[in-house]
Amino acid sequence: MDVAIIKYNAGNIMSVELALKRLGVNATITADPDFIRKADRVIFPGVGEASTTMAYLREHNLDRLITSLKQPVLGICLGLQLMCSHSEEGDVDCLGIFPENVKKFIPAPGQEYVTKVPHMGWNSISNLKSDLFDASLENQYVYFVHSYYAAAGDDTAATCNYITPFSAALQRDNFYATQFHPEKSGPIGARILENFINLKAR
């Protein structure tokens, strides 16, 4: 099986590659359009800032490539946010795969020291609705680091609650995305990555 990790100007790509290696999967980090189109699975990870990253994707025609893919695609963290319609981070239009707007967490007045931004650390996921998950993962804890979120909507595949309920995962057709980092989420994250690799063709 060929697994492509999209190479672009965002961090955290190597940790995803290492997590896959622990599962016995040798992924290829690449920006080659032909390889990405032919790959059996594509992963779109990232840690960075939305507007500068979208500018890079557009400059290198990766925006059109990603939205055209037909095989299972997994966005991680910034990858999820860029797969949405718009982000408040840099006030930028994104890929539009998921019809959600990405907003910044704003703590309630007086709660700034209780619910700090960014949301960083372990939190539970619930209301799982995607074949990315199995029933035993309900209410399990995964690792988050983010200041922006996609609200819960029709494509929400998992929910988390921090300041407000938000989409911990999204799915539409062959596009999957997690706001949390499965590659940093221990055995639970490894199972989610494995579930993605083992997805049946839709």
**Cα(179)–Cα(185) distance, rounded to whole angstroms?**
12
Question: What is the torsion angle, in degrees rounded to the nearest 10, for the CA atoms of residue 31, residue 32, residue 38 and residue 42?
Answer: 0
**Phi and psi at residue 196, to the nearest 5°:** -65, -45
Structure tokens that stand for 82 in this block: 């860029």
**Cα(76)–Cα(170) distance, rounded to whole angstroms?**
10
Calculate ∠ Cα 58-68-191, nearest 5°.
Answer: 100
Task: Tell me the pLDDT tens digit for each residue of 96-147.
Answer: 999 999 999 998 787 777 688 899 999 999 999 999 999 999 999 999 999 9
**Phi and psi at residue 159, to the nearest 5°:** -120, 145
Q: Which domain holds residue 121?
A: 3-198
pLDDT at 71: 97
Residue 190 has pLDDT above 60, yes or no: yes
- 22 or 11: which leads in pLDDT: 22
Task: Tell me the pLDDT tens digit for each residue of 13-31.
Answer: 999 999 999 999 999 999 9
Residue 12 has pLDDT above 90, yes or no: no
**Structural domain count of the chain:** 1
pLDDT at 202: 55
Query: Mean of the per-residue pLDDT values for the chain?
Result: 94
CATH number at residue 128: 3.40.50.880
- 42 forms beta bridges with 4, 73
**Cα(180)–Cα(114) distance, rounded to whole angstroms?**
20
Active site residues: 77, 181, 183
